[in-house]
Amino acid sequence: MKTYHYSVLLKEAIEGLNIKEDGVYVDATLGYAGHSKEILEKCKKGYLFAFDEDEEAIKYSSDLLHKTSGNFKIFNENFVNMKKVLNNENISKVDGIIFDLGFSSPQIDNEDRGFSFMVSGPLDMRMNQHKDLTAKKVVNEYEEDDLTKIFYEYGEEKMSKRIASIICKERKEKEIKTTDELVEIIKKATGANYFFKNHPERQIFQAIRIEVNHELEVLEKVLPDAINLLNKGGRICVITFHSLEDKIVKKIFKKYSEIDDKLRGLPIVPDEYKPLIKIINHKPILASEEELKENSRSHSAKLRIVERI
């Protein structure tokens, strides 16, 4: 298994967390421990809780982190369960939480996981390989209207209807089992000119992956929990990789950082209606030119940071 992973916006995210030596921190997306290792090195008297659904990543990261410190615990859970899991550990408040919503290089590059449209592999795309829903099920069993909706909403692909239609036609002849079979069907649906100019396979694979892992649903659910878990002065850093994720993060951070319009102008605003957070960077932090040269996957990354007040 390839284990090299480049942690996007590593320096900026760690600085954004404003780590205290004795603080309690959460890495909601452990992956291959790039951010977790840096957190443990800085909070020498503190503690780290980390979450990931990928058992391969957990095994690798656990071995790596033990070389730095034993002050951590990893949960084989989706981060949407963060509040419940931490409550079970008698943790009601933390000093910082980081979300890196990208996929690790070893996951993308492992053809057996089916995340990449660039190599042939099974249509899988599951972060948690014990779950029933796979990309193969989505492609072969979803109704045409449902596929169109997913491709358009999650992939923002303008030829969604045509691609869904051809997929449904092709699967009547033969079950679609591999990533390269799906890529060829997308090319057939869109035509070579459109395909090579616009690369709709990127959008379709993104859409299917989001559906398989319920990525947007869990993000929308967990961010309010994360905000409420913060101590005063605690921070959340979120690194997104496409516009749909970034819109959700921006919307929720805006909601919790402003006073309701109906209460504006009141001489006294009750505590329960005051903002819970302040936005540290109103414009997202992007990768530096140096990082972009080192890692092409950093191009779409955006970092947003908020602080509990």
Convert the pLDDT of each residue in 245-287 to its tens digit.
999 999 999 999 998 777 777 777 777 778 999 999 999 999 9
Q: What is the pLDDT of residues 103-133, one digit of tens each?
A: 766 666 677 788 888 888 999 999 888 899 9
Instruction: Tell the residue number behind the tokens 């209207």, with chain if given.
Output: 145
In the chain the domains, ranked by start, together with CATH numbers, are 10-106+216-308 (3.40.50.150), 116-213 (1.10.150.170)
d(CA 113, CA 123): 8
d(CA 199, CA 207): 14
pLDDT at site 105: 64
Burial class (CB in 10 A: 0-12, 13-18, 19+), 61: buried
Name which of 234, 304, 218 is nearest 24 in CA terms: 234
**CB of 123 closer than 8 Å to CB of 176:** yes
